[in-house]
Amino acid sequence: MSQLPPEVHQLIDAALTEDQVFNDPTTMTLVPPEIMGVGMIRAKAHGILAGTDVALAVFRRVDPNLDTEALLSDGTELSPGADIARVAGSAGSILRAERIALNFLQRMSGIASDTHIYVEAVRGLNARIVDTRKTVPGHRYLDKYAVRMGGGHNHRLNLADGILIKDNHIQALRSRELGLPEVIKLALSRASHTIKVEVEVESLEQLREALAAGAHIIMLDNMTVDTMRQAMEIVDGRAVVEASGGIDLETVRAVAETGVDLISVGALTHSVTALDISLDLEFD
C-alpha cells in the first residue's frame, strides 16, 4: 500500500491536527532540534502486521527530512521483539509523530491479527471470512485493507458496491403492498448488469421466496447451524450463500461446515483489539 489514496492522507492530517502535533510544548521546550535519534518500531505481541506504509507516512508528514524504512511487509506474522520499521532524524519530530503513527499501526495490525485467527479457524473448508461496513468513520479503506492482510476478504466497501436488501428495506416497501419476492424482482429489474443483488432472509420460507425470485446472493441472518444446514440443502448451488449474525470463534467452524460460501464477521472491525506495538528511541 505504498501509494496511499488521498483520503488516507486526509485522515492522517486530521489525526495530526486532533493531536496538535505542531503545537507540542513538551517536545518544543525540552528537546532541542539538533538532537538526532533513531526510532525502532517493534512488535510486543504475536500477530499479523498491517499499516506500515501509513505509519511511516505519518512521520514523513510531520517532518519530510526524516528517513523512514519498512523492515517487514504487511501480512507478515509477528512475534515479540520483531523490528517492523526504522525512523531516523530529528528526535523531536519522531516524538511528535510517534503516537499517531502507532495508533494507525496498532489498530490495523489488530484487525489483521483477528482476521487471521478466523481464517485459520475455517482452514480447509469452502467458506471465506468477510468483513462488514461496521467500521470507524473515515477508517474504512484502512480497516478493509487490514482484513485482506489477515487473509480475509472484503464485503461491500460502500453502499455503491452492490444491492443488499435487508429487513428495513422490505419493511419500507410494505406500504406499497410489496412482499419479499416483488422487492427482489424490482431490484433485479432496475439494477445494472454489473451489480449483484443480495437479500437478507431470516427463515427457510423467506429463503425459498428469495431463490424463486432470482436473488444472486442470499444472506442467512442469525440462523442456527442446523437451520443453515437445511438452507444449504434447499439452495443446492443455485445462489451464493452468506452466513451472518452473532458468529464468533466458538461457532465459526461449525458454520463453515454447513457449506456456506461466505461468513461475515462485524467484530473484525467494530470490536478491534489493538496489537501491542511500540517505538524505542535510540541514540548513537
Residues 128 and 103 in one domain: no
pLDDT at 1 over 70: no
What are residue 277's phi and psi, to 5 degrees?
-135, 140
* pLDDT score, position 2: 59
Residues of the chain with pLDDT > 70, as a percent, come to: 99
Residues 278 and 264 in one domain: no
List the catalytic residue out of 99, 174, 190, 238. Answer: 99
Residues 53 and 174 in one domain: no
Residues 91 and 102 in one domain: yes
Q: Establish whether 238 is a catalytic residue.
A: no
> Is 217 in contact with 198 (CB distance < 8 Å)?
yes
* pLDDT score, position 152: 98
Q: Establish whether 148 is a catalytic residue.
A: no
List the catalytic residue out of 67, 166, 174, 233. Answer: 166
Query: Tens digits of per-residue pLDDT, 167-177?
Result: 889 888 877 77
> Is 44 in contact with 113 (CB distance < 8 Å)?
no
Q: Establish whether 200 is a catalytic residue.
A: yes
Residues 276 and 258 in one domain: no
The number of domains in the chain is 2
The neighbour count for residue 130, using CB atoms within 10 Å, is 22
Residues of the chain with pLDDT > 90, as a percent, come to: 93
List the catalytic residue out of 98, 114, 198, 221. Answer: 221
Q: What is the mean pLDDT of residues 248-256?
A: 97
* pLDDT score, position 240: 98
HSE-up of residue 198 (Cα within 13 Å, Cβ side): 20
Query: Tens digits of per-residue pLDDT, 13-35?
Result: 999 999 999 999 999 899 998 99
Residues 87 and 194 in one domain: no
Residues 36 and 133 in one domain: no
List the catalytic residue out of 134, 185, 229, 253. Answer: 134
Q: Establish whether 221 is a catalytic residue.
A: yes
Q: How confident is the model at residue 3 (pLDDT cuts 50, 70, 90)?
A: confident
* pLDDT score, position 59: 98
Residue 163's CATH number:
3.20.20.70
Q: Establish whether 69 is a catalytic residue.
A: no
Residues 16 and 135 in one domain: no
* Residues sharing a CB contact under 8 Å with residue 31, sequence separation 6 or more, in sequence order: 91, 92, 95
Classify residue 1: in a domain, yes or no.
Answer: no
Q: How confident is the model at residue 261 (pLDDT cuts 50, 70, 90)?
A: very high
Query: CA torsion sign, 7 to 9 to 11 to 14?
Result: negative
Classify residue 197: in a domain, yes or no.
Answer: yes
